[in-house]
Amino acid sequence: MAEVTYYTEEGLAKLKEELQYLKTEGRLKIANAIAEARDKGDLSENAEYDAAKEAQGLHEAKIAKLEEVMASARLIDESKLDLSKVLALSIVRIKNRKNGAEMTYQLVSETEADLKAGKISVKSPIAQGLLGKSVGDIAKVTVPAGEIEFEVLEISR
């Protein structure tokens, strides 16, 4: 059984939208590519046809994977989350104790993670170190470059 993954309303909507696109327009494009390749003659020596069929297989695998993710996806009611400690979907402002740099991250599911948007996966080393911490706590996070200490400055939703 697939692992349960928690999503924001926005993240779940994006997943549904992508799945819908793949099932409709995506399948139509692949079917058209197969039909076009088939029209070119002998299928036993038709590289375009083979490539289109392979693309179809990969496309269907992607659909199956997204359906599996959707089946195990759960929407988190953010209004009921505890603001006293860092949890999934928390927005956390932290300070690097070594260089004084402040950062703000939202802890989201792996598929929603986008560092440019300030969203990090709950499975990332930084998020793992922050989970369960309260304002004022120090999180020691082991990263490839060594150990970094972060102070939790603020937790919000």
Query: What's the pTM?
Result: 0.63
Q: Is 57:123 a contact under the CB 8 Å cutoff?
A: no
What SS3 state is found at 152?
strand
Burial letters 41-78, b for 16+ CB under 10 A, else e: eeeeebeebeebbeebeebeeebeebeebbeebeebee
* Beta-sheet pairing, 102-108 with 119-121: parallel
Of the chain, the percentage scoring pLDDT greater than 70 comes to 94
- Nearest in space to 127 (alpha carbons), one of 146, 145, 100, 103: 103
Range picked from 95-99, 109-113, 142-146 for highest mean pLDDT? 95-99
What are the pLDDT digits (tens) for 42-71?
A: 777 778 888 888 999 999 999 999 898 888
Question: Mean pLDDT over residues 3-29, rounded?
Answer: 87
β-strand partners of 6:
74
